[in-house]
Amino acid sequence: MPIYLNIVPQAQLDWAQLTTLVGEANGQHVTDVSLSLQLPKGQALTQAQQRQAAAWSLTIGRPTITPSEQTYLINLRETDRLLPGAFKQWQQVIQQHPNRLIGLAAFDSGQPLAPQVQDYLDQHADSRLHLTLQQLADSKLTTTNARQLALWGLQNYSVQTNLQSLKYLDQRLRPTGLLLPSTQLSPNLPLASLQQTLPILQSATEVIRLHVPTIARQSWVVTTPLTWLTNLQAIDLDHLALGWGPLIAQYQQHQLNQILNVAGRQQLSKPVHLQLLTQIKQTQTPPIHRWSRLGLLRMLSPRVAHQLFY
């Protein structure tokens, strides 16, 4: 059951974060996992980094995937994290449900991981399986690794058929953090994009959901709102499968609203603010809440707000 881990940097590649992620992947000692790094345009590795990538067996560029029902792709950013046993847990589910889209619960990589893991374990402290595995892990591993490994004993999943559900769409429609069946990948679309994921979801009859986190990640709306907006705007609402158009339009509205909220909270540069608001103004589906001049003035200069409003 080959798994292709494709790493797509947020913007400028963070080599230290990449080193950590590759270490987490190779440290699981799963032989049929292939690693690749897709650098943004204009970026290149130094000679020393190229040598290190070769030592890691890290392919540079889009991976060449031989499709099969039990071969999967997962896109992650270099800032995402892999928990111990992640690959084995994924392979166990793939074996039972081949060629299905698989969604993954995740911790927040923007927050310290250890407290999140401990909180999760505390919530399931009455699980006998958890307690047995915790005692075994504590005798063999460091405390941090033992706690993360103990999550494995709690793993469970569901087979979900309510695919056209706005409530769960955010779990199933994202560029990173999903296990994508290789037989359904489009070679002409970016691997880490909504354009790649949405057709797979539309054609599915069911989605598998792993409920215990095996990764830690951050939402694109938080880390790279402009890139996320571009992904949203690449969806052609007029050419979706029956029944999906209104649902995706609602999804876009909610996501645009989140982008505006992020723009209001974060210290984004003025050019990024302007680009975000300009693109949102031109979008096919407007945000749910109407804009106000006061809201724009809080984020931009009066002159720029006037340009956008009139």
Question: What pLDDT, in 10s, does the model give residues 251-289?
Answer: 998 998 888 888 777 667 778 878 887 888 777 666 655
Question: Which parts of the chain have pLDDT scores under 50?
Answer: 128, 130-139, 141, 292-294
0.75 exceeded by pTM: yes
- Please give the sequence-ordered ranges of beta strands (E in DSSP) within 61-217, or none if there are none: 72-76, 81-82, 101-108, 157-160, 178-181, 207-217
Smallest CA-to-CA distance from 293 within 279, 277, 269 is with 277
Taking the C-alpha atoms of residue 82 and residue 213, their distance in angstroms, rounded to an integer, is: 9
Taking the C-alpha atoms of residue 49 and residue 60, their distance in angstroms, rounded to an integer, is: 11
Look at residue 170 in the predicted model and tell me its pLDDT: 93
Look at residue 283 in the predicted model and tell me its pLDDT: 76
Look at residue 90 in the predicted model and tell me its pLDDT: 97
pLDDT digits (tens, 9 = 90+) for 21-72: 999 999 999 999 999 999 988 899 999 999 999 999 999 999 999 999 999 9
Taking the C-alpha atoms of residue 30 and residue 10, their distance in angstroms, rounded to an integer, is: 26
Look at residue 281 in the predicted model and tell me its pLDDT: 77
Topology, domain 3-218: Spore Coat Polysaccharide Biosynthesis Protein SpsA; Chain A (3.90.550)
State the Cα angle at 178 between 14 and 69, rounded to 5°: 125
Look at residue 270 in the predicted model and tell me its pLDDT: 77
Domains in the chain: boundaries: 3-218, 225-309
Taking the C-alpha atoms of residue 51 and residue 84, their distance in angstroms, rounded to an integer, is: 26
Look at residue 221 in the predicted model and tell me its pLDDT: 92
Look at residue 89 in the predicted model and tell me its pLDDT: 96
Stretch (H or E) spanning 4: strand 3-7
